[in-house]
């Protein structure tokens, strides 16, 4: 059985379970979709692609692709919501998706948000459109007194706040503050690699730089591929 038919059967089963249990307290119209989007970006976006959320994770399934056929076949939000909630519930210790990633009402909110936007055209509107931080700065990060600060996106998006950076040749400390719950580091090949940090930690290293162009990136699996990299010009 291919993935799409299997997923369709799983969604049908989830819908049946939801109907029998009468479970809809926070998962339906009462769900907090803004909270769901914030949590999805911060907790799930590093692994999953979801166009409306702006996430590009490649470790786990692309959720738009995963739900495209079920949406076409007419499965409603409640069925998809039930399946996402079940995936969160059955996360195994040591698995790619950690146990207890989100719980209780938060898990219901995440499932409701995913169900409301997965495989659907358009962009989030209203409060959802501004639920997480904006895009990368159009200005470069600039080295000051030998330190170049390139923060990770605080909302958990797989990107740095700056796409480009500038510095003077010589000894430079590259530092990446990370306020998000997603784990990131910062690396420049041949120069150094900071430790993986999250929740307010700072990844940094110091090296001597000759004039030239360098690429900085996050080496956590899937993050660079999802767009977490940028260009440093040293003069």
User: From CA 163, how far away is CA 120, in angstroms rounded?
Assistant: 29
Q: Give the H/E segment covering residue 68.
A: helix 63-72
More confident residue, 27 or 91: 91
For residues 21 and 122, membership in a common domain is answered with yes
Residue 55 DSSP class: E
Give a yes or no: residue 170 inside a domain. yes
Domain boundary among 76, 100, 130: 130
For residues 125 and 37, membership in a common domain is answered with yes
Digit-coded pLDDT (tens) for 170-199 = 999 999 999 998 899 999 999 999 999 999
- Residue 90 — very low, low, confident or very high, per pLDDT cuts 50/70/90? confident
CATH of the domain at 15: 1.10.760.10
Give a yes or no: residue 136 inside a domain. no
Burial class (CB in 10 A: 0-12, 13-18, 19+), 191: middle
CATH of the domain at 204: 2.60.40.420
For residues 205 and 104, membership in a common domain is answered with no
Percent of the chain past pLDDT 90, that is, above it, reads 68
Q: Which tokens sit at 9?
A: 């059967």
For residues 117 and 206, membership in a common domain is answered with no
Tally the domains of the chain.
2
Give a yes or no: residue 135 inside a domain. no
Greatest distance between any 2 Cα atoms in the chain: 67
Q: Are 159 and 227 in contact (CB under 8 A)?
A: yes
More confident residue, 90 or 176: 176
Looking at residue 21, its pLDDT comes to 38
Average pLDDT over residues 94-101: 80
Domain residues for the domain of 19 are 3-130
Digit-coded pLDDT (tens) for 129-163 = 999 876 789 999 999 999 999 999 998 889 999 99
For residues 121 and 24, membership in a common domain is answered with yes
Digit-coded pLDDT (tens) for 119-129 = 999 999 999 99
For residues 42 and 113, membership in a common domain is answered with yes
Q: Give the H/E segment covering residue 156.
A: none
Domain boundary among 130, 159, 182: 130
Looking at residue 96, its pLDDT comes to 76
Digit-coded pLDDT (tens) for 53-85 = 999 988 889 999 999 999 999 988 999 999 999
């Amino acid at each position: 059985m291919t993935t799409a038919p299997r997923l369709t059967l799983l969604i049908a089963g989830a819908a049946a379970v939801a109907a029998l249990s009468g479970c809809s307290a926070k998962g339906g119209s009462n769900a907090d979709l803004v909270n769901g989007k914030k949590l999805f970006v911060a907790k799930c976006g590093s692994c999953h692609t979801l166009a409306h959320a702006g996430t590009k994770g490649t470790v786990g399934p692309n959720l738009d692709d995963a739900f495209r056929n079920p949406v076409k076949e007419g499965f409603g939000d409640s069925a998809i919501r039930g399946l996402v909630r079940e995936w969160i519930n059955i996360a195994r210790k040591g698995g790619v998706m950690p146990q207890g990633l989100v719980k209780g009402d938060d898990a219901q909110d995440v499932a409701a948000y995913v169900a409301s936007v997965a495989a659907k055209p358009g962009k989030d509107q209203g409060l959802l459109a501004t639920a997480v931080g904006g895009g990368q700065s159009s200005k470069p990060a600039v080295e000051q007194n030998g330190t170049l600060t390139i923060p990770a996106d605080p909302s958990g998006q797989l990107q740095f706040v700056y796409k480009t950076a500038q510095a003077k040749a010589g000894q430079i400390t590259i530092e990446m503050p990370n306020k998000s719950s997603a784990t990131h580091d910062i690396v420049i090949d041949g120069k150094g690699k900071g430790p993986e940090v999250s929740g307010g930690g700072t990844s940094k290293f110091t090296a001597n730089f000759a004039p030239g162009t360098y690429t900085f990136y996050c080496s956590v699996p899937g993050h660079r591929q999802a767009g977490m990299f940028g260009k440093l010009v040293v003069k």
